[in-house]
Structure 1
Amino acid sequence: MLNKLIVLAALLLPACFANAHEYKTGELEIAHPWSQELPPNAQTVAAYFLITNKGKTADRLLSVDSPIAGAAELHEHVMQNDMMKMQQVPSVEIPAGGTVTFAPMAYHVMLLELKDRSLLSDGKRFALTMHFEKSADVTVEVAVQKSAPDAMQAHMHTP
């Protein structure tokens, strides 16, 4: 069921982000990096986006970093013993000709040890640098929003 939801989100997101900001490095396209506005007491924030590989060979997202955080980790949600659990992953494969969705309840970037909370309110943007195995590093601007994009709202509330 979770895989179907992730596929649905991947199919819906491109239409939702038709006018959104996009970035390219090598054969990879990164679409609409976003994060949800933080409540005042939050200790971490997550960043989301789509990575599409237009190439004929797989690539791999090895790590990320941001000037607003002391640490950044790649995470995924997995089902273990009938419970959804978040866990850190060492890297994320971007298959040739495929799209990987970074979204709530899927892969995402966790930013820890937050330094500049002023950039985490609605309408602001912050930098996030992605480091790939084959493609060059790329720095994107993550748009902070009060709530998830419409396609994400449907994904987040589907049982």
Structure 2
Amino acid sequence: MKKTLILLLLSMSLWGMDKVSIENAYIKQTPPHAKATAIFLTIKNDSDKDLSLLKAQTNLSKETELHTHKNENGKMVMKEVPSIPIKAHSSTELKPGGLHIMVFDIKNQIDENTRADLTLYFDNNQSIELKNIPSKAIVKH
């Protein structure tokens, strides 16, 4: 049993599963009665292989999508994307006006007291759980 566990841990580190990290995660605060919000963060990939974020789940809602903003006929619109790539030895920032995790059908206003849990699922079969992500007001300029 010990040999199996040691081999499993060794294979995980060889595949770079411990080389993906998340920084600066936060939830966008909302006005009362809003039904959607977004989660922003930076994904760092210090492994030797490209990877992709495939899915996200949060305790704020059962419905999340990976999104980006695109210019269509001079107007910026949000579009769902099937995945978000993170190149080897680089990072990808999910930020307002760009890539982000959209959260639909939220039950409560997201305010300064809101904290959330988030699980990210990657194409290398790794998942990362984040606990107590804070919320943040986003000021438009």
Q: Output the TM-score relative to the length of structure 1.
A: 0.72
Residue 130 of structure 2 aligns with which residue? 140
Residue 32 of structure 2 is aligned with which of 34, 37, 40?
40
Q: CA separation in 2, counterparts of 1:70 and 1:35?
A: 15
Which protein is richer in helix relative to its size? 1
- The CA deviation at 1:57 is 0.7
Structure 1 residue 104 and structure 2 residue 58: aligned?
A: no
- The CA deviation at 1:60 is 0.7
Which protein is richer in strand relative to its size? 2
Consecutive unaligned residues in structure 1, runs of 5 or more: 1-24
Asked if structure 2 preserves the Cα contact closer than 8 Å seen for 1:27 and 1:135, the reply is no
Consecutive unaligned residues in structure 2, runs of 5 or more: 1-16
Asked if structure 2 preserves the Cα contact closer than 8 Å seen for 1:76 and 1:88, the reply is yes
Q: Which amino acid aligns with 1:74?
A: L
Larger radius of gyration: 2
Residue 7 of structure 1 aligns with which residue? none
Q: CA separation in 2, counterparts of 1:42 and 1:69?
A: 13
- The CA deviation at 1:121 is 1.6
- The CA deviation at 1:124 is 2.7
- The CA deviation at 1:135 is 5.2
- The CA deviation at 1:144 is 0.8
Residue 80 of structure 1 aligns with which residue? 72
Q: Which amino acid aligns with 1:144?
A: S
1:88-99 pair list within 5 angstroms:
88-99=80-91
| Alignment length (residue pairs) | 124
Cα RMSD after superposing both structures = 1.7
Q: Which amino acid aligns with 1:133?
A: D
Structure 1 residue 31 and structure 2 residue 23: aligned?
A: yes
Report SS of the residue matched to 1:26.
helix
**Fraction of identical pairs, as percent:** 24
- Residue-by-residue CA offset, 1:5-56 (whole Å, 9 max, x unaligned): xxxxxxxxxxxxxxxxxxxx62111102101221102110100000111111
